[in-house]
Amino acid sequence: MEHNIYIYMLIMAVVTYLIRVIPLTLIRKEIKSTFIRSFLYYVPYITLAVMTFPAMIQAADSPIAAGIAFVIAIALAWFGASLFQVAVLACLVVFLIELLPFI
Amino acid sequence: MWTNKQAFRNGLRDGLPIATGYFAVAFTLGIAARNAGFTALQTLVSSMTNLASAGQYAGYVVVASGASYFQMALMILVANARYMLMSSALSQKFDSATPFIHRFLVGYGVTDEIFGIAVNVPGKLNPVYIYSAMLLTVPGWSLGSYFGVILGNALPSNVVSALSVGLYGMFIAIIIPPARKDKLILTLIVISMVLSGIFEFAPLVSRIPAGMRVIILTVVIASVAAILFPVKDDPYASVDKEVS
């Protein structure tokens, strides 16, 4: 089945909006359920982890360069580098390694 | 509660640093959108209508894989699920005298950072504060992604290849610092990445498309974690991490 990019974009916009606006308008109460609260709390870490690996390795032209950038980015973030520093240095690592003739 | 004038001025003051950060993040998101086949204009519109880095990226993955519309809705729901928690907390910040319509307008702009500054407002929330912050953050976010696509098309391919990992670098920078403090988060991240790797390469499960994999793994791992390790107090009491 052929998909229309504008319908995709509409779904993205509508679902994102509803997620944000329904708790503000229809529910208007704190979410009490411990399970739902815990679930929603864990979701971002898990979903970002799943979306980062192995997609990051496949994002650059050279998987080796991207793999090294992946490890370096984790080390940098672990030792307190800022969001911006981690992102820029990850790009720089890929750029420099891909300059090597044998990669 | 702040007067409209105070709220407006404070919103601009607090929105400016967020807007500049957004520009940089959205730029690398634009590279990802371009790699998924989005034009600059489509990216601009999707940024203006979503204001969500992980959510938009997840959407671009679905578009690139040509999955069903239903899967798109499910994917966006999972990638943006945390906003439910934030909006429900923000709901308590509204004064009962504030007209109801403002809830629909403020709802449009709930991002991690906007939520972060909104909950730190003393007393009840004057929506004007959110609107004036959005005057800066929405263009910063949208134009950043727009220029990401434009420059992605103009730059040499090895530069684009390097920039393509930038967004993942930011995802890593978001999830790793909390993981250092909380071993449970660290364990969940490791499990998530290992299973994601298995789903990519192992026979049979690797036939599941990338978007579906994110949905299945997130729902299963988060459910198990929520049952085994329930969070007792308010996890978003002082949010100052994460990107839109």
Q: Is B128 on the interface with A (CB under 8 A)?
A: no
Which of A1, A2, A11, A16 to mutate to test binding with chain B, by most B CBs within 10 Å of its CB?
Answer: A16
Exposure class string for A62-87: b at 16+ Cβ within 10 A, else e: beebbbbbbebbbebbeeebebeebb
Give the mean model confidence (pLDDT) for residues B214-231.
95
In this prediction, residue B241 has a pLDDT band, given cuts at 50, 70 and 90, of very low
The end-to-end CA distance of chain B, in Å, is 26
- The shortest CB-CB distance from B235 to any of A7, A37, A81 is to A37
User: Do B103 and A48 touch, CB atoms closer than 8 A?
Assistant: no
Cα dihedral A83→B52→A45→A85 (10° resolution): -10
**Nearest CA to CA, how far is A71 from chain B (Å)?**
10
ipTM metric: 0.92
Average pLDDT, whole number, for chain B? Answer: 92
Give the pLDDT confidence of A5-20 residue by residue, as tens digits: 999 999 999 999 999 9
Q: Is residue B239's pLDDT more than 60?
A: no
In this prediction, residue B238 has a pLDDT band, given cuts at 50, 70 and 90, of very low
> Taking CA atoms, what residue in A is nearest to B57?
A51
Q: Is B200 on the interface with A (CB under 8 A)?
A: yes
Which of A2, A3, A40, A93 to mutate to test binding with chain B, by most B CBs within 10 Å of its CB?
Answer: A40
Report the range of poorest mean pLDDT among A72-81, B7-16, B111-120, B175-184.
B111-120
d(CA A17, CA B104): 9
Give the mean model confidence (pLDDT) for residues B121-146.
96
Judged by CB atoms closer than 8 Å, whether chains meet at B167 and A20 is answered as: no
Query: What DSSP designation does A100 have?
Result: S
**pLDDT recorded at residue B236:** 58
Q: Considering the entire predicted model, what is its pTM?
A: 0.86
- Cα A14 to Cα A79, B10, B48, B62, distances in angstroms: 39, 30, 12, 16
d(CA B55, CA B216): 16
**pLDDT recorded at residue B7:** 96
**Nearest CA to CA, how far is A46 from chain B (Å)?**
6
In this prediction, residue B240 has a pLDDT band, given cuts at 50, 70 and 90, of very low
Domain boundaries defined on chain B: 4-167
Give the mean model confidence (pLDDT) for residues B82-87.
90
Judged by CB atoms closer than 8 Å, whether chains meet at A90 and B169 is answered as: yes
Q: Is A103 on the interface with B (CB under 8 A)?
A: no
Strand-pairing partners, residue B125, are B94
